[in-house]
Amino acid sequence: EVMGILDGRADLERELRRVLGLRAVRVVSGDVDENPEVKGDLGFTAARFLREVLRRGDVVAVTGGTTVAAVAARMPPVHPGNILVVPARGGVGERVEYQANTIAADLAERLRAEYLLFHVPDRLSEEAYRSLAGEPQIAEKLHLIRQASIVVHGIGQAIAMARRRRLPPEEIAVLEERGAVGEAFGYYFDQDGRIVYQQHTLGLGLGDISGMRAVIAVAGGRGKAGAIAAVAKAVAPHMLVTDEGAAREILARY
């Protein structure tokens, strides 16, 4: 029986890896949309992978969201030494417990690491973006954030994330018009993984991520299937940790 379950998940992982063109996929059982406890399993599985890839001297970036918060919460104690945890972007505007800053501090505590806080709003006007990026203290922090060799990131459903971030209705209409389905790092992607909208955000950009040693995506739930597929195509993470609910829905569609 146990082998049957394991085999079933291994098949799912193999298929998902093939369909999304990824190097590694882990599928935890259940569906976080139906059972919130699955979020802890997503977090635990991503945390175990992080432990495997973590090396002394690494800078680890984390995004916001409840799923990445679960990664920090389930991080096993491991102290390779000289680790710096940074928020991937300024995330002020979200609920504080799900802001990247809070998660970075939480993860750092578990790793006995240093952390950096980056208190800038998540959404900036073009003008504010330019002037803030030119501030020496902010530029220095941004420089450190861009040193990240590992990132753990969440994936959001485009419209749900836009609402959570209180984007004005006219911008949400633009997202809908352009077929935005997934969100990560402040970028919104259509179902083919094309960027259709981008927030003015200080922090990691897609260009920074492409050179990293380990990009770890973690997201589950049947409702996120389209978002996960879109972001996986765009970001091509080294590891996707998801759940059965999302995995089966993605495979049903592709």
The residues that touch ligand G3H, with contacts defined as CB under 6 A, are: 63-67, 98, 154-156, 161, 183-184
Q: Which residues contact 140 (CB under 8 A, 6 or more apart)?
A: none
Q: How far is the CB of 94 from ligand G3H (least distance, A)?
A: 8
CB 70 within 8 A of CB 40: yes
For ligand G3H, which is the closer residue by CB, 81 or 151? 151
- Closest residue to bound ligand G3H by CB: 65
Which of 124, 235 has the CB closer to ligand G3H?
235
Full strand arrangement of the beta sheet holding 156-157: 156-157, 182-184, 187-189, 195-198
CB 188 within 8 A of CB 198: yes
Strand partners, 87: 62
Judged by beta carbon, residue 156 or residue 245, the one nearer ligand G3H is 156
156, β-bridge pairs: 183
Q: Minimum distance between the CB of residue 83 and ligand G3H, rounded to whole angstroms?
A: 22
Q: With respect to ligand G3H, which residue has the nearer C-beta, 15 or 117?
A: 117
Min separation Cβ 38 and ligand G3H, Å: 12
The minimum distance between CB 184 and ligand G3H, in angstroms, equals 5
Phi, psi of 79, rounded to the nearest 5 degrees: -135, 80
Q: What is the CA radius of gyration of the chain?
A: 17
Q: Which of 247, 243, 167 is nearest to 180 (CA)?
A: 167
How far, in Å, are 26, 69, 118, 147, 192 from residue 47 at the CA level?
Answer: 12, 11, 23, 21, 28
Q: Which is nearer to ligand G3H, 137 or 247 (CB)?
A: 247
Shortest CB 212 distance to ligand G3H, Å = 17
Residue 18 or 247 with smaller CB distance to ligand G3H: 247
Residue whose C-alpha is closest to residue 145's, from 124, 165, 117 = 117
Q: Taking the complex as a whole, how short is the minimal distance between the CB of residue 39 and ligand G3H, in angstroms?
A: 8
For ligand G3H, the closer of residues 12 and 184 by Cβ is: 184
The nearest distance, CB 161 to ligand G3H, in angstroms, is: 6
Sheet holding 59-62, edge to edge: 25-28, 239-243, 214-218, 150-153, 59-62, 84-87, 114-115
